[in-house]
Structure 1
Amino acid sequence: EILPKDGNMVRYLYHLNLAKYSTRPIKDLSVKMEIESEAGEIKSVYSPSHEVEIKRHGKQRVVVGLEEENLKPDSDLQLYYSLRGKDGGDVDVAAITHKEDEDESGYFTLLVSPGAWGADRVPMPKDVVFVFDSSGSMRGNKIEQAKKAMEFCVDSLNPGDRFEIVRFSTEAEPVFGNLTKANDKAKKRATKFLDSVRAIGGTAIEEALGTASEILAEKASKDRPAQIIFLTDGQPTIGAIKEDVIINGLQKELKETKAKIRVFCFGIGTNVNAHLLDKITDKTNAVSQYVLPEENIETKVSRFYSKISEPVLTGLEIKIKGPERVHKLYPKELPDLFKGDQVVVTGRYESGKKEATITLTGSMMGKDRTFSYKANFPKTNDDNDFIPRLWATRRVGYLLEEIRLRGEKKELKEEVARLARKYNIVTPYTSYLILEDEARDGVALNRRSHFGGLRDESGARFDAEAPADSAASEAFDSLIVAEKEEARKFSEEKSGESAVRGASSGSDLKNAKGLADLGKAVNSSYSSGPGLANGTIQSIIIGGKTFHRNGDLWIDDEARDDKDKEIKELEFGSKEYFDFLAANPKLCRWLSVGNKVDCLENGKIYRVR
């Protein structure tokens, strides 16, 4: 098989999508792929469709693995990798684009990767303060898991690093009182301190963050990345308890430091103030992580810290020259680049010059560095059709955070509803917006997105091809009431299960690197896996179109409202049907979704029965 190559980017597709034929999950799936290159160094390796494990063996060999249980077979396995010549730089930027129409904005994804960062290279020294909650609410498994997580982080420190540990409950208590070199003696002292900690007392978040900031500020340097890793399971009860007071105090401390300090927050359980943690990470360009009741603290914290333990390039900025305009880039502020990881940027572009110049700047080992790359931003490109959905996922995550932290606005809700429905991004909040939007537009009940999963009292599905009866209407009313309450909790509550799951799900959406993260976001937003509304929406995305399944009928999202639309009817399997497909090959991929399909194209609905 000859793999398609666009510039320096190579693409491989392994067919796993069986959604048109079966929704039964694959019980056990194991895939191993080996990439070897004689042409140059393998830099970016990326799967937009699945969460894969990437192991590098030198600069020219990579092994990619996928292990899944009960995998829903609704997407093919896609793999991209970029090649650089032997004279390539330390950091690579590769561009992937999608643009179906010359007159519409295109989509792009940039992969920023350090490639095979050799073991012989000295890691960039960093300063880090670990701050963890030892209040009374942490008793039992939580405090033991948190201590083990802290021990892992301490053990993973590099020789050039400096660190401190701050335990807090009713008051904050540092181990050393200042940043200390991460030598064996200091690590042993820190481990001994962790062993002695017991869970007791209140929750002095303001003092804990203030102590950590002061310790970092004393020795902070522009040449060294600075981090605070903050773990808590509760809300502030000692000292300042108002969000704005705590955040303003933290910002004041950080403003006076020479280095840019990132505060990574871990909320443990569902009693944390998710608004407070997310506002802290928003102000410091970091991320929040939430350890849900069904998750292990040690595992989640350790896995996250492993990704950020070795910075390669900090203070990243990207400029693109060539397209007439680039806009709506996510993330809005770029994170640091770490060894073994990559930064994924998505955005929109208007056509200009086909060849673009991408300039990446940042700091490496205390020195300013600039990297320049060539990339194509074509007027049309039908390939890489995952990009619009990935961009929409991040856009929805960003908008949901705006709604949650700063309040609902009509225009934000309308855009979330439109994107969520079009790209099948379903959480309790977006589900309600879709229901509300379709009701407002007067879409017939039997053509709405959720109709396919509704059941009558006997558990039977309603007939999607018959007008909805009173029983179907009552089922819809019950669904709307339930989802409206979930939406209220998401937008108004700062703590509790709905608030924390909403924050966790929103973070997954906002920081999604691939479509597998969308699945994680949906699952984490419900307390027992996908909830009622998510279970009622069965969808498939083909060639940029989303089809919702209502019984045996697949309805193009754009064809839900068929009032005043021209309709061309086709009998499935007839001579007219095949003659039509031969004359209109573009429609083949959409009409092949089933033997009962409604598809809108060029203002006309094609109805197959």
Structure 2
Amino acid sequence: MKTIGTDINAAVLKGTDMLNRHPREGTASLLILLTDGDPTSGVTNLEQIYKNVKEAIDGKFPLYCLGFGMDVKFEFLEKMALENKGVGRRIYEDSDAALQLQGFYEEVATPLLTDVQMVYLGGANLTQTNFSQYYNGSEIVVAGQITDNNIAEFTAEVIAISKSNKVKYSRTTTTEEPIKASSDSNIQRLWAYLTVKQLLDKEVKSSGDEKEKVKKETLDLCLKYGFVTPLTSMVVTKPQGEDSQVAHKPKEGEKPRGTMLDTQASRVRGSRVNTET
């Protein structure tokens, strides 16, 4: 008797093949994986799946992984998405699951630019400056430092692809007086916040000594700026005499209270959306 399982490797490779075999000029491709389980059939070795998917996609389009509920191996989905210029998102099994899916689709429905590069001449210690996609309604924020306070001009450039054409936007700001050194805590916290987010993504993709190094760097920034992350904790005290309740983060594979969706095989959907200028 043939056993039915979840073949995530085959699903993603099939979707990738569909997009590669039917290219359309002036469109931006993306691949969305929806699954409520772990790889239980076909290729089940996670490292092999990472390798197969990365080689198949080859940086041509982003992969978004949506995992339903707490049974899914979310760390696996998140790492696979990050390695392919996408993101992992957990869809919580609740009455608004359909709204969560709709909200995600609205985020990625209208790509305006691809292969976005942000260039700041005279900037240093910059946060992420390369982005695979820029979507309508989204924003890109880059933070950094100007190391030369006597700089006369500061130039910002955006280089990207729009409808298969390379575009470049440039703006130069002229300073009549030397830039005054600023210790604005809000700007510093913004830089630290963006850096921590990127380090957490890097930590997911890393392994061994590199993973521990990134984790330590992230933790140091979190403690310095008081950020609550998966590596830190937040303690809330209640007035004396009141009953205390402790809320724990649900663990992978632990079913929360409430109705659970029936386990289904993974589904993958490749889509293209016309880009706009």
**Matches of 2:164 and 2:39, distance apart in 1:** 37
How far the C-alpha of 1:370 sits from its partner, in A, is: 1.1
Matched residues in 2 for 1:428 and 1:306: separation?
A: 27
Q: 1:343 aligns with which of 129, 140, 151?
A: 140
**Higher strand content, 1 or 2:** 1
Within 2, Cα distance between the matches of 1:393 and 1:275? 21
Q: 1:262 to 1:222 in 2, by over 3 A?
A: farther
Is 1:399 equivalent to 2:192 in the alignment? Answer: no
- Is 1:246 the equivalent of 2:49? yes
2:90 corresponding residue in structure 1: 290
Amino acid at match of 2:34: L
Asked whether the equivalents of residues 222 and 260 of structure 1 are also in contact (C-alpha less than 8 Å), the reply is no
Corresponding residue SS for 1:344: coil
Aligned partner of 1:418 among 185, 206, 220: 220
What does residue 367 of structure 1 align with? 165
Query: Structure 1 residue 275: deviation in Å?
Result: 2.4
Structure 2 gap ranges (5+): 256-277
Query: In the alignment, which residue of structure 2 is the partner of 1:380?
Result: 181
In the alignment, is residue 334 of structure 1 matched against residue 131 of structure 2?
A: yes
Residues 413 and 245 (structure 1), Cα distance of their counterparts in 2 relative to 1, 3 Å cut:
closer
Q: Structure 2-normalised TM-score?
A: 0.74
CA contact (8 A) 1:281 1:287 kept: yes
Distance 2:201 2:55 in 1: 24
The yes-or-no answer on 1:207 pairing with 2:7 is no
2:270 corresponds in structure 1 to none
How many angstroms does 1:329 deviate by?
Answer: 1.2
Deviation, structure 1 residue 295: 6.7
Shift of 1:229: 1.3
Please state how far the C-alpha of 1:459 moved relative to its aligned partner.
5.5
What does 1:207-606 align with in structure 2 at a 5 Å threshold? Answer: 207-220=10-23, 223-255=26-58, 260-294=60-94, 296-321=96-121, 323=122, 325-330=123-128, 333-352=130-149, 353-375=151-173, 378-381=179-182, 385-405=185-205, 406=207, 411-427=213-229, 429-431=231-233, 453=237, 495-496=252-253
CA shift, 1:291, in A, is: 1.2
- Superposed displacement of residue 231, structure 1: 0.8
Number of the residue aligned with 2:265 = none
Name the CA distance, whole Å, in 2 between partners of 1:316 and 1:407. Answer: 31
C-alpha deviation, 1:251, in angstroms: 1.9
CA distance in 2, matches of 1:262, 1:213: 10
Q: Name the Cα RMSD after superposition.
A: 3.3
Q: State the AA in 2 paired with 1:343.
A: I
Q: Using the alignment, how far apart are the partners of 2:152 and 2:92 within structure 1?
A: 46
CA distance in structure 1 between the aligned counterparts of 2:28 and 2:55, rounded to whole angstroms:
19
- Pair 1:337–1:411, CA change in 2 (3 A): closer
Q: Distance in 1 between matches of 2:68 and 2:232?
A: 25
Which digits, 9 at most, give the CA deviation of each residue in 1:227-264, with x for residues without a partner? 11111111011101111111211122223xxx811111
1:411 to 1:365, Cα distance in 2 relative to 1, 3 A = closer
Q: C-alpha distance in 2, partners of 1:453/1:235?
A: 38
* Separation in 2, partners of 1:244, 1:236: 12
Amino acid of the structure 2 residue aligned with 1:365: K
Structure-2 change in CA distance of 1:232 and 1:404 (3 Å): same
The code of the aligned residue for 1:214 comes to: D
In structure 2, how many angstroms separate the alpha carbons of the residues matched to 1:412 and 1:365? Answer: 37
Mapping 1:156-235, distance limit 5 Å: 201-220=4-23, 223-235=26-38
Output the CA distance in 1 between the equivalents of 2:15 and 2:31. 7
- Whether the 8 Å CA contact 2:219–2:231 is kept in 1: the answer is no
Q: Deviations over 1:400-420 (max 9, x none)?
A: 344444357664444333322
Distance 2:101 2:194 in 1: 23
AA of the residue aligned to 1:420: C
Amino acid paired to 1:333: N
Pick the structure with greater CA Rg. 1
In structure 1, distance between residues paired with 2:238 and 2:199: 29
8 Å Cα contact 2:118/2:159 also seen in 1: yes
Counterpart of 2:68 in structure 1: which amino acid? I
Letter in 1 for 2:195: R
> Residue 69 of structure 2 contacts residue 93 of structure 2 at CA under 8 Å; is this kept in 1?
yes
Distance in 2 (CA, whole Å) between partners of 1:307 and 1:382 is: 35
Distance, in Å, in 2 between the alignment partners of 1:217 and 1:425 is 42
SS in 1 for 2:232: helix
Change (3 A) 1:284 1:410: closer
% identical aligned pairs: 24
Q: Judging changes above 3 Å, is the alpha-carbon distance between structure 1 residues 308 and 413 closer, same or farther for their aligned structure 2 residues?
A: closer
CA distance in 2, matches of 1:345, 1:240: 39
Q: Deviations for 1:460-503, whole angstroms, at most 9, x for unmatched residues?
A: 9xxxxxxxxxxxxxxxxxx9xx99xx8xx9xxx8x4369xxxxx
2:269 equivalent in structure 1:
none
- Equivalents in 1 of 2:54, 2:219: separation in Å? 34
Q: Bigger relative contact order, structure 1 or 2, given CA contacts below 8 A and separation 6+?
A: 2
Displacement after TM superposition at 1:214 (Å): 0.7
Partners of 2:67 and 2:32 lie apart in 1 by 11
Q: CA deviation at 1:297?
A: 2.4
Decide whether aligned partners of structure 1 residues 343 and 410 sit closer, same or farther in structure 2, where only a CA change above 3 A counts: closer
Deviations 1:55-113 (A, max 9, x none): xxxxxxxxxxxxxxxxxxxxxxxxxxxxxxxxxxxxxxxxxxxxxxxxxxxxxxxxxxx
Deviation (angstroms), 1:304: 1.7
Corresponding residue number in structure 1 for 2:275:
none
For 1:243 and 1:307, the matched residues in 2 are separated by: 28
What corresponds to 2:258 in structure 1?
Answer: none
User: 1:360, 1:371 within 8 Å by CA — same for their partners in 2?
Assistant: yes
Displaced runs of 4 or more, over 6 A: none
